[in-house]
Amino acid sequence: MVRQIVVIGASASGIEAAAAARKKDRTAEIILITQEKTAGYSRCGLPFVIGGHIPSFRDLVVYPPAFFQMQKLELRTQTKVRAINTKDKTLTIQTKENPTTTQALPYDVLVIATGAEPYMPPIKGKEKAGIHSLRTLEDGEKIDAAIKSGAKSALIMGAGLIGLELGAGLVERGLKVTVVEMLPQILPQFLDADMAKLIQQHLEEKGIKILLNTVVEEFLGETQVSAVKANGQVLEADLIISAFGVRASTQLAKEADIALGETQAIKTNARMETDTQDVYAVGDCAEAPSLITHRPTCAQLGTIAVREGKVAGTNAGGDYSLFGGVLASAVTQLFDIQAANTGLTQTAAQRNRIEVVTATVSSKTRASYFPGAKPIKIKLVVEKESKRIIGAQIVGGEEVAQRINGLSFAIQQGMTIQELAKADTAYAPPLCETWEPMVLAAEMILMKLR
Amino acid sequence: MVRQIVVIGASASGIEAAAAARKKDRTAEIILITQEKTAGYSRCGLPFVIGGHIPSFRDLVVYPPAFFQMQKLELRTQTKVRAINTKDKTLTIQTKENPTTTQALPYDVLVIATGAEPYMPPIKGKEKAGIHSLRTLEDGEKIDAAIKSGAKSALIMGAGLIGLELGAGLVERGLKVTVVEMLPQILPQFLDADMAKLIQQHLEEKGIKILLNTVVEEFLGETQVSAVKANGQVLEADLIISAFGVRASTQLAKEADIALGETQAIKTNARMETDTQDVYAVGDCAEAPSLITHRPTCAQLGTIAVREGKVAGTNAGGDYSLFGGVLASAVTQLFDIQAANTGLTQTAAQRNRIEVVTATVSSKTRASYFPGAKPIKIKLVVEKESKRIIGAQIVGGEEVAQRINGLSFAIQQGMTIQELAKADTAYAPPLCETWEPMVLAAEMILMKLR
């Protein structure tokens, strides 16, 4: 009998799940459903199209229709799932062509990859038109159109990764950009305050105005938002952009009595199964445990989405695969500076009542005498009892991402700070220093532990 | 009583040893002896000065006289050690000022950091003048002077790292360069033939003529060498450069009955002690075990030299430190391409009778849609029984060194290929692909193991 595998969502995790299922089950009918017009594009690339680094939004489509055809995946775009009926194993769906009727779509295995949606706090006037966000291709096109129609200034609410990447892109397009952040630092989920400060300085040098400890209180304007009131002050801008963060899209799951976890994302086990038979959840809508705290997390990163998708798809296709957990390694490029994180920040460790020793080392990305060397700063977070590395943050001009990957491997393998201090590293004058700064940071921690 | 710690050699490992000893023993007299005029310069930088990347040879001096003064290290340049007398714990030394007499220098602890010297095979005519090599600052200055006097072509014998980095530098200075290599591939100690081929193509595109399987048989010319005979063919060049490799400088140790090991470098234990009481050996003249085969190696890399120096110096200073062993991680930049290696190549594994599975993945250094992405190729070498990674090679346009460092951490921590396939990696469109190619290579090996 031909099995029917249905995936709700056709972005990173959903497509990865479908493709993995196809590898394991050559005959199954595999259907992907998305309410979006375009499937298989890179959301992470959106700020870089706006910034002008990538010529067109269309370039972000990494899975063109031909991919789905070749993999024999049936893609249904502009289709809404209205309900998941776990008892009779069907979905209630609604197409764009027939918006007044619904139909039932049976599944043998369901993968929920509904992603996340921009979060809007309960701010006065939030129902007004003209508040942008940046989650979908259409969102990007709207911002781009506004710039082309003459927008000269932007106010971004939220200093997370998306807000700041977008802010940098808007500056590159010639706009005057102000970022408003409620917390006393930028990138609060991503970096400790000391490391975030370095990024903030760079952004300010590039002309972004950053207002910390600033709470948005009201959206101002007749029907169209033209300004916000924040900390009592009126901030006007041609473009008002909400980047308060995203929340897991769990409405469908909740209504179908599929359990959510403590992070308010969908609860999963190591196979990425939900608490409901034959239903998996992956990507930005799903929980997975932290490799360090072992508590559920919902890191909402593309790399985690594809890994979870692959595991769920492999299982959905009848094979066996486990998802180990997340370190939430992430990296960003903002103008000329790169910032990355893996594992826990010092702040996150303290929140989890883990005692840590930290050290920060400043170095260069090339031999001191080699022209073009850029500064780099590495912070290590080490658990006090085991002396294992549990987190790392890097801010620097180049070669940041792969250092974080190396430290991610180190954390994953339970590397102690002593082991890192003795690690064998490569060296060439145009590419790095003789003493790798990651190793120097480890030595600094050893000294603190003595 | 004030201890006297004497270090023979004032390059990477010797200086690191002296500085580490100083940290542990604030009162000891610490004396560094070198026969060179200049101490504390980066040998690895020499090809890049010749290539014009670094303005002057003087820029390579990373430890200026002020460093030695500040650390209270007595530096004696242009001083030759004629003999090590282990019984009465003295050195016989000869200064430039008094070349006809020798004097005794007592030591409580001795660190041998004599380095290595260019190797010249027993080729007919090798005593003739005008055969260059590149080991010291003076060697570099001579080559530079020859170029300034109008040398238009160079013949480099040996396609190892130094030969090729120098070859690239000479091309950048406008010379016509030919490299002659006895073996059927370039970089035989560094890369497998398949990976070396990629570098060879790049070098050839940049104009270097590479002659493989070519044996130098004779140096031609009256008293001054003006050509070599290789495979029966006469190859003329304005600059004839020997880059056959280096050999550990062990003459002094041998004469003092300090044991050499199977690699013909000085035998050491994990404290970097020789078989002789109170005598340490570090750097290019010393052996250390491979972390993989556990057999002695003599990798002769700057990063290993400083690590060994630090361990020996810490012990010499009265504290305790062990050197774990080497993976011989190394990286180089040749024109627009970077190449790196850690652990064993496939060839080296086979030579050690280790059964391996390998996989090579081609990818890009940025998201496929992000302009400026450069190709990158990663080869993993995995031990068949344990499924642990034991080696990796990378050739690519950027972000190569830190990937090798990450894989070095992985190997050091005993990471299995399954663990690498599940690793948590960072991603941002301008900096890397969603699926990190190291992870993809691991998956390819998993498929082969199935």
Same domain for B18 and B78, yes or no, is yes
Residue A1 pLDDT greater than 80, yes or no: no
Biggest CA–CA distance in chain A, Å, is: 71
Same domain for B76 and B168, yes or no, is no
Same domain for B8 and B112, yes or no, is yes
For the segment A85-106, the average pLDDT, to the nearest whole number, is 96
Distance from the Cα of residue A184 to its chain's centroid: 22
Nearest to B143 by CA among B178, B120, B182, B173: B173
Same domain for A84 and A110, yes or no, is yes
DSSP 8-state code for residue A258: P
- Joined together, the tokens standing for residue B60 give 């390579």
Nearest to A431 by CA among B320, B334, B110, B161: B334
Which residue among B302, B414, B425 sits closest to A427, beta carbon to beta carbon?
B302
The shares of helix, strand and coil residues in chain A, as percent rounded to the nearest 5, are: 30, 30, 45
Q: What's the total number of domains in chain B? A: 3
A231 touches chain B (CB under 8 A): no
Report the pLDDT value the prediction gives residue A125, as an integer from 0 to 100.
Answer: 96
DSSP 8-state code for residue B61: B
The one-letter code for the residue type at A174 is G
**Residue A108, domain member (yes or no):** yes
Determine the Cα–Cα distance for residues A417 and A395; give it in Å rounded to an integer: 20
Domain with B176, as residue range(s), is: 131-244
Same domain for B142 and B212, yes or no, is yes
**Residue B322, domain member (yes or no):** no
Question: Closest chain B residue to A399 measured between Cα atoms?
Answer: B399
Residues of chain B falling short of pLDDT 50: none
User: Is residue A223 very low, low, confident or very high in pLDDT (cuts 50, 70, 90)?
Assistant: confident
Question: Closest chain B residue to A433 measured between Cα atoms?
Answer: B303
Report the pLDDT value the prediction gives residue B223, as an integer from 0 to 100.
Answer: 87
Report the pLDDT value the prediction gives residue A273, as an integer from 0 to 100.
Answer: 98
**Residue A211, domain member (yes or no):** yes
Per DSSP, which regions of B205-310 are E strands? 209-211, 216-220, 227-230, 233-236, 239-242, 246-248, 279-281, 288-289, 296-297
Same domain for A346 and A296, yes or no, is no
Let me know: does B92 contact B104? Beta carbons within 8 Å. yes
**A44 annotated active-site:** yes
**Residue B126, domain member (yes or no):** no
Q: Do B426 and A401 touch (CB under 8 A)?
A: yes
Nearest C-alpha of chain A: how many angstroms from B49?
9
Going B125 to B126 to B128 to B130, the CA torsion angle's sign is positive
Same domain for A8 and A68, yes or no, is yes
Tally C-beta pairs within 8 A across A and B. 227
Q: Do A369 and B326 touch (CB under 8 A)?
A: no
Which residue among A59, A330, A405 sits closest to B369, beta carbon to beta carbon?
A59
Report the pLDDT value the prediction gives residue A206, as an integer from 0 to 100.
Answer: 98
Pairing of strands A356-364, A337-343: unpaired
Residue A450 pLDDT greater than 90, yes or no: no
Domain boundary among A224, A244, A264: A244
Determine the Cα–Cα distance for residues A28 and A313; give it in Å rounded to an integer: 12
For the segment A279-308, the average pLDDT, to the nearest whole number, is 97
**Residue A274, domain member (yes or no):** yes
Q: Do B333 and A428 touch (CB under 8 A)?
A: yes
**Residue A166, domain member (yes or no):** yes
Domain boundary among A229, A244, A259: A244
Report the pLDDT value the prediction gives residue B1, as an integer from 0 to 100.
Answer: 78
Encode pLDDT of A189-210 as tens digits.
Answer: 999 999 999 999 999 999 999 9
Same domain for A113 and A8, yes or no, is yes
Nearest C-alpha of chain B: how many angstroms from A392?
12
Percent pLDDT > 90 in chain B is 98
What CA–CA distances, in Å, run from B60 to A344, B42, B45?
A: 39, 5, 6
Same domain for A235 and A252, yes or no, is no
Q: Do B409 and A428 touch (CB under 8 A)?
A: no
**SS3 sequence of B316-340:** HCCCCCCCCCECCCEEEEECCEEEE
**Residue B57, domain member (yes or no):** yes
A125 touches chain B (CB under 8 A): no
Report the pLDDT value the prediction gives residue A291, as an integer from 0 to 100.
Answer: 97
Report the pLDDT value the prediction gives residue B450, as an integer from 0 to 100.
Answer: 85
User: Is residue A154 very low, low, confident or very high in pLDDT (cuts 50, 70, 90)?
Assistant: very high
In B225-301, alpha helices (H):
251-255
Same domain for B230 and B258, yes or no, is no
Compute the mean pLDDT over every residue in chain A, rounded to the nearest whole number.
97
**Residue A300, domain member (yes or no):** yes
Determine the Cα–Cα distance for residues B71 and A73; give it in Å rounded to an integer: 68
Question: Closest chain A residue to B343 measured between Cα atoms?
Answer: A424
Same domain for A413 and A441, yes or no, is yes
Same domain for B393 and B444, yes or no, is yes
- Joined together, the tokens standing for residue A372 give 């073009």
Give the predicted TM-score (pTM) of the model.
0.97
Determine the Cα–Cα distance for residues A287 and A264; give it in Å rounded to an integer: 8
Let me know: does A316 contact A280? Beta carbons within 8 Å. yes
CATH number at residue A111: 3.50.50.60
Encode pLDDT of A170-182 as tens digits.
Answer: 999 999 999 999 9
- Name residues 407-436 of chain A within 8 A of B (Cβ): 407-410, 412-415, 419-420, 422-432, 434-436
Report the pLDDT value the prediction gives residue A150, as an integer from 0 to 100.
Answer: 97
Which residue among A48, A424, A432 sits closest to B401, beta carbon to beta carbon?
A432
Which residue among A291, A302, A415 sits closest to B427, beta carbon to beta carbon?
A302
> Hey, how many other C-beta atoms are within 10 angstroms of the C-beta on A397?
17
Write the ipTM. 0.96
Question: Closest chain A residue to B42 measured between Cα atoms?
Answer: A429
Domain boundary among A214, A244, A274: A244
